[in-house]
Amino acid sequence: MRSSCLSILILLASVLSIHATTVKRMDLDTLVSGAHEIVVGKVRGSETYWSEDGRLILTRDKIEVSETLKGVNDGTVEITTIGGTIGDLTLYVAGMSVFKSGEEMIVFVEVAGSFRTVVGLGQGKFSVADDFVPNSVSSLNFAHAGPGRVTRMRFARLKNAIRERLQTENVR
């Protein structure tokens, strides 16, 4: 009886942990300083593929850049995330940014090895909807702070706040 209860508790703990990822909360200053690029753009295509070692499903999304707030680019940015669907197999990582074709956003991009990815998982992607830009953090838990709360503000306000921080840091 005791071992079956322990098995059930372990199974329950593993199932619960699948639905949330614990990360460090990042405020706007941390997102700005941690980003190699900050761009405004739209998703224009995606490709899902197996990692070189065949262990992970990766998705590469092509973002057509309409405005660069930090960094330099050639008009497009390709962002790679862990997760996606190949055939009937889906890999989902709680808190990982997911992009939709045609979606407009502000995205904080970091270089990780040969990949570009989103700073702070869902914390660094702000989708534009009706002139507001919420980020997606509902499936994130923050160390010492509990579940994520969406940061939502007007599109122009977020861009201005980013510019102010960049001027303060004198970073480009």
CA 24 to chain centre: 13
Residue 15, domain member (yes or no): no
C-alpha Rg value of the chain to the nearest Å: 18
Domain membership flag for residue 141: yes
**Would residue 11 count as lying in a domain?**
no
Total domain count, the chain? 1
**pLDDT tens digits, 133-164:** 876 655 555 555 555 555 668 899 999 999 99
Find the CATH number of the domain harbouring 117: 2.40.50
Q: What is the pLDDT of residues 10-23, one digit of tens each?
A: 333 334 444 455 55
pTM over the 0.95 mark:
no
* 4 located within any domain: no
Between 16 and 123, the more confident residue is: 123
Classify residue 14: in a domain, yes or no: no
Residue 66 lies in a domain: yes
Residue 8 falls inside a structural domain: no
Q: Which domain holds residue 90?
A: 21-169
The SS3 of residue 73 is coil
